[in-house]
Structure 1
Amino acid sequence: MSLFVFVSCKNEKTPVPYGPVDIQLDLNKAEFNSFIIGTHVFITGGGSGLGIVVYRLSQNEFKAYDRMCTSKTHNEWVRLTDSPNSAILLECQECGSRFSLIDGSVNKGPAYFYLTEYQTYYNQTLNTLWITN
């Protein structure tokens, strides 16, 4: 008796380019007054240069993602925008892919890579948020 096992490895990587990210947000500034739990803000920066979306999960927990669509169907980089039907989704206007702001997962394809996530560190005493990779 013979047993053959075929293993396929995909070494594909997200199409979002690596770029250093080191951003500190002062959440005491007036521009962040409406940045409450369950909302998000768009800021400049990110590996793609298309910006970062920061989502506030709780009083002390944040998620930060690059705004570049991870679908490989594009000929050029495409910036994600708010989904018209959901406050927790971002949508690609070119391919229709949708992504969750809660965990960066693909809600609707053709994209299959999660959003590129950046690390966040919140200083409750100073009310500042550090975003880095």
Structure 2
Amino acid sequence: MKKLLTLLSICILALSCQKDSVEIIPNVRFTAEIDLDNPQYTGYSFKAIRDVKGRRIGINGVVICKLTQTEIYAFDLMCTHQHEKTGYFYVDVEPGNDIVTCPECNSEFIISSKYGAVIKGPAKWPLKVYQTSVSNNILRIWN
């Protein structure tokens, strides 16, 4: 009887430990470098699809918001609302703006904060955030 109760307890614990959230944006491992001296990467906000070595950044690029020379945020371009449809939908980046918009669902996200928060739905989740660091004017982005 004790063995049955122990087995039943283990099963209940295993089932209760299931993940209760969905990975909205696929978790892609990468490390990328962007030369901030390149004229296409100057300004307050911009997008980058490939790094200095031609490697893809994130799922299909990132939007970058440069608040200062060392305070830089990077987010995946993929809209978090359209994750269940076939195909991916990417936010539009208007250089110099701190709000990006999904042309498909009209969700808006703010990129001048480290969270990429939704400011207008229907999206419910923020943009996927990537780690950043700057050294010798080379921006390193990774996940």
Give yes or no for the alignment of 1:40 onto 2:50: no
Q: Is the CA contact 1:56–1:62 (under 8 Å) kept in the aligned structure 2?
A: yes
Per the alignment, do residues 30 and 87 of structure 1 end up closer, same or farther by CA in structure 2, a change over 3 Å counting? closer
Q: Judging by fraction of residues, say which structure has more helix.
A: 2
Give yes or no for the alignment of 1:92 onto 2:99: no
Per the alignment, do residues 74 and 13 of structure 1 end up closer, same or farther by CA in structure 2, a change over 3 Å counting? closer
Q: Is the CA contact 1:20–1:46 (under 8 Å) kept in the aligned structure 2?
A: no
2:67 pairs, out of 57, 63, 78, with 57
Aligned to 2:88: 77
Shift in Å, 1:74: 5.2
Q: Post-superposition, which runs of at least 4 consecutive aligned residues in structure 1 deviate over 6 A?
A: none
Q: Is the CA contact 2:77–2:91 (under 8 Å) kept in the aligned structure 1?
A: yes
Deviations along 1:59-79, one digit per CA (max 9) or x if unpaired, are 221000000000147513101
RMSD, aligned CA: 2.4
Taking the TM superposition and a 5 Å limit, the aligned residue runs for 1:17-32 are 17-32=26-41
Q: Please tell me whether Structure 1 or Structure 2 has the larger radius of gyration of its CA atoms.
A: 2
**TM-score, length of structure 1 as denominator length:** 0.77
Deviations along 1:88-131, one digit per CA (max 9) or x if unpaired, are 111011111000011200010111111000000011xx111100
Q: Is the CA contact 1:73–1:95 (under 8 Å) kept in the aligned structure 2?
A: no
Pairs aligned (count): 117
The whole-number CA distance in structure 1 between the counterparts of 2:38 and 2:32 is: 15
Give yes or no for the alignment of 1:16 onto 2:25: yes
Taking the TM superposition and a 5 Å limit, the aligned residue runs for 1:97-116 are 97-103=107-113, 104-116=116-128
Aligned to 1:119: 131
The whole-number CA distance in structure 2 between the counterparts of 1:72 and 1:55 is: 23
In structure 1, stretches of 5+ residues that fail to align are 1-8
